[in-house]
Structure 1
């Protein structure tokens, strides 16, 4: 159901919603809320969201300010749209805003209760985060697994080289997704999850996107909680089916591993599944499947989406592409392979990634926060249980913070110390504070390694004689922000390049 149909449904269901409001307990208005648009009866400001809420909220912030209140049905929402306000929420009041507003699409199979992404800041969440930080994302663990990432990127380069020889265009997002998915799968299961040449890879990518799309859709059940039992748009029903498919896959992997572990001759693989099963006293099977869902969905999509946007911006800006390729080839040499240790010697490539994340943050509104108590910000009160949306997309395009904010200009980062690791609030594509994305260190390595390798080994051109000005740079909104039209480009192997 598109957003226009959604609003039509609201109008037709007016009497039903009126009954809902009479039966529900009206939350008292506490304190002095930040300014915002005057809400309509019943629906509040739902009509103002549109199909691209990140853009609609950025426009409203220009009218009402970077700390803004919206009434979305029954849900009071505060929207953050500037670096200064983001710092207030994610640093100065980090603990108070560490809660999660859980969308109905993930209230399936009790995923929200077990998920590291969606659960509240409780001991269970801290235990999951500790296991991920200790056994996957520490510098020591990542350094140890460099060989695996190098192998997967070499497989990506080999796949692209096959297309180069035949003159076929490469689906950049799909190729990056396959590489990242199998990297995560080897980290967790010690095996590839999909054959990049089979339909299973595309099917898994489609499944991941459907989960993210459903979670990002405007949903009546989120705005009018008493409608959850009805699920009027069928979002939870579809989500349950998608989550169940992932759980069945993970069940098979766990069932294959358990008999091996019980054998006296079992040689531990020391992958993440072994770690989780070793801690099974603290995490039951359902918790394990929920955590694996988080890792596979979030990890595979955000990394591949970022690489696709980076390549799209470079193809759209040939001078920038030439400059980036020149840096990589001159730094690495034509006979060598790109190593992770080379990333620090590629400042322009790093600037390209930062500029990509500024314009195209993988999660444009981050994951919704929730106030755990009444909080005072800049003279206003954010009441307990208020939903808080941080518009990272708007912050990255704020003309008070950036010169020529809608243009792709990596050079702006060459003499700047601004980074995306959660300390500089002008650039927070992965969030900040205690709910910052734990997979950021792995994403950092993978995006740079894949991008530098693709630039090092190939020249690139658009298919069918398309000019850069003809490229479709529109996006489609879910929890993540993907290209509406998948990027396809033709690789050409340069003479003398690796």
Structure 2
């Protein structure tokens, strides 16, 4: 059984049964030698691992993780094995998967310092000569340097004052997006693919926050968007090596290694010329330059902000538009919420966004249904600690399944149904409403909560409100609803088929 499953999986990854056979022989030989000559960490051997599905030699539970998307499969396994279970990604790579809210809060909030370390993935190892891993926010362990960079970002570029200073630029940019989309549909029979417009707008916003309000380099934005897509694709391709280290010798992994190093070089060449500029004091670059960091670390701190900001905001907005097309009643409610609250306006201003309760509910429900990183970023125990009373040793990897929390039937009525009204019905402070607020964690929670959470939520709501206010959204063809199929790139879910809709300008 183990042999047959291993062959099937490697065949899928390498695209050839013949190659899979040779690859399998190599992996089995190396894995057997490693198993004979080494043993799991002595501290790990002292742990009582939470229960989980039965594992097979060498491949662990990988054979049970095929088919559906990983977060969906893990949520189903959790219903059988419990909200805290052990999954083996290969025989020697255990990971504790959290699927219940109490355990999630213990890891993310109550003991966030204990679980604040990060795993060194193979992709980070490829770039380790650059010291990238220990020196950016998302992938470094909690510590003095992490605190300093995060604090500098939040008190500078992402501070309320700095974000507020962008208001005129953002509103002007939103008018530009609406104008460009209006012009495009004239030559495209009324249809539009909104993602590219939303991505460009988000990237321009981040560019101004990083380099200063006068930043307006369209060629840089175009190149940066390409590098983001390439990095996400490459990180997905190298994920096999995180479970089987010696898989790095496979043709696909060697190719991914070359592409990762080329991508690193291109990113450095793209960002380096901007380091000699003189940014204003509230720009992220100003803070980074003041810290006497190496050029390389500065570059990848900048790239990190683009990487994490562009896809999270633009993809969430696009998912929301897809729901508006599928749920015409919800779209009409949102449009009427805008009209009744702020009147017939050409532009929904940023100051008006938080007044629109139904808009906020639509954004929340979209983030519940389609969290950009449904498994979040894995946490590592930075010290010996406990989880719900069970001993956890330093180095243990823990992953919180946000998708499972967002679909927990004891909290969410009809969890698979898009229902923005659920948040409005619970505004009375009921137990159900409190449980929903506690279980809705699209940005994570605790010390490692997304630093750009407030900016991200505001950007999604601002863009969505204006696109629904400016256009009526419908199917490209009558009865042909948008494809909501997800595609997983590493830990990020994107829309497998890019959204295309038919839009018509609103008439007041």
Moved more, 128-137 or 155-164: 155-164
Contact 2:346 2:470 survives alignment (8 Å): no
Match of 1:459 among 472, 484, 491: 472
Corresponding residue of 1:115: 136
CA contact (8 A) 2:174 2:201 kept: yes
User: Which of 74, 86, 101 does residue 119 from structure 2 map onto?
Assistant: 101
* 2:295 counterpart residue number: 285
Specify whether residues 226 and 11 from structure 1 end up closer, same or farther in structure 2 by C-alpha distance, changes over 3 A only.
closer
Q: Using a 3 Å threshold, how does the CA distance of structure 1 residues 30 and 421 change in structure 2: closer, same or farther?
A: farther
Contact 1:102-1:368 at 8 Å conserved across structures: no
User: Could you say which residue in structure 2 is the equivalent of 1:442?
Assistant: 455
Partner of 2:3: none
1:61 to 68, 78, 82: 78
The structure-2 alpha-carbon separation of the partners of 1:347 and 1:96, relative to structure 1 and needing over 3 Å to count, comes to same
Q: 1:344 to 1:14 in 2, by over 3 A?
A: same
Counterpart CA distance in 2 for 1:394 and 1:61 is 8
Match of 2:102 in 1: 84
Shift of 1:54: 1.0
**How far off is 1:231 after superposition?**
8.4
Instruction: Give the whole-Å Cα distance in 1 for the aligned partners of 2:275 and 2:223.
Output: 21
Q: Aligned pair 1:474/2:496, yes or no?
A: no
CA contact (8 A) 2:469 2:506 kept: no
Decide whether aligned partners of structure 1 residues 271 and 203 sit closer, same or farther in structure 2, where only a CA change above 3 A counts.
closer
SS of 1:99 mapped into structure 2 = coil
Q: Could you say if the C-alpha distance between residues 141 and 71 of structure 1 is closer, same or farther in structure 2, counting changes exceeding 3 Å? A: same
In the other structure, the counterpart of 1:219 is 239
**Alignment of structure 1 residues 336-375 onto 2, 5 Å:** 336-375=346-385
CA 1:59/1:475 → structure 2, altered by over 3 Å: closer, same or farther?
same
Whether the 8 Å CA contact 1:338–1:452 is kept in 2: the answer is yes
1:68 aligned counterpart, secondary structure: strand
TM-superposed CA distance for 1:192, in Å, is 2.6
Residue 4 (structure 1) shift? 4.8
Question: Do structure 1's residue 15 and structure 2's residue 29 form an aligned pair?
Answer: yes
**Does 2:228 align with 1:208?**
yes
Deviations 1:4-36 (A, max 9, x none): 534947733211211222344422322322111
- The answer for the alignment partner of 2:179 in structure 1 is 158
2:61 corresponds to 1:40: no
Q: Is the 8 A contact 1:421 1:440 kept in 2?
A: no
Q: For 1:100, what is the secondary structure of its paired residue?
A: coil
CA deviation vs aligned residue, 1:283-332 (integer Å, no higher than 9, x gap): 22112111111101100110001001000111111111111111112322
* Other-structure match for 2:391: 381
Distance apart, 1:152 and its partner CA: 1.9
CA distance in 2, matches of 1:134, 1:269: 11
Partner of 1:72: 89
Secondary structure at the counterpart of residue 273 of structure 1: helix
Q: Deviations over 1:129-181 (max 9, x none)?
A: 01101112222222222222222222111212213444442212211101001
Give the match's secondary structure for 2:218.
coil
* 1:397 to 2:407 alignment: yes
Alignment of 1:142-221 (within 5 A): 142-166=163-187, 167-189=189-211, 190-194=214-218, 204-217=224-237, 219-221=239-241
Q: For residues 247-283 of structure 1, what are the alpha-carbon distances to aligned partners after superposition, in whole Å with 9 as ceiling and x for unaligned?
A: 211112224x2xxx5xxxxx95753223322x142x2
Q: How far apart in 1 are the matches of 2:65 and 2:507?
A: 51
Equivalent residues of 2:227, 2:263 under 8 A apart: yes
Whether the 8 Å contact between 1:457 and 1:493 is mirrored in structure 2 is yes
The range that moved more, 372-381 or 339-348, is 372-381
TM-score (norm 2): 0.87
| In structure 2, C-alpha distance between the alignment counterparts of 1:347 and 1:327, rounded to whole Å | 8
Q: Secondary structure at the match of 2:487?
A: strand
RMSD of equivalent CA atoms: 2.7
Tell me which residue corresponds to 1:248.
Answer: 269
Residue number in structure 1 paired with 2:12 = 5
**Given the superposition, is the C-alpha separation of residues 175 and 421 from structure 1 closer, same or farther in structure 2, using an over 3 Å criterion?**
farther
Structure 1 residue 214: Cα displacement: 3.1
Higher relative contact order (CA 8 A, sep 6+): 1
The 3-state SS of whatever aligns with 2:96 is strand
Q: Which runs of 5+ in 1 are unaligned?
A: 262-266
Q: Report the Cα distance in structure 2 between the residues aligned to 1:133 and 1:176, rounded to whole angstroms.
A: 24
The count of residues paired between Structure 1 and Structure 2 equals: 479
Contact 1:276 1:288 in 2 (8 A): yes
- Does 366-375 or 202-211 show the bigger shift? 202-211
Structure 1 residues 155 and 421: CA distance shift in structure 2, 3 A: farther
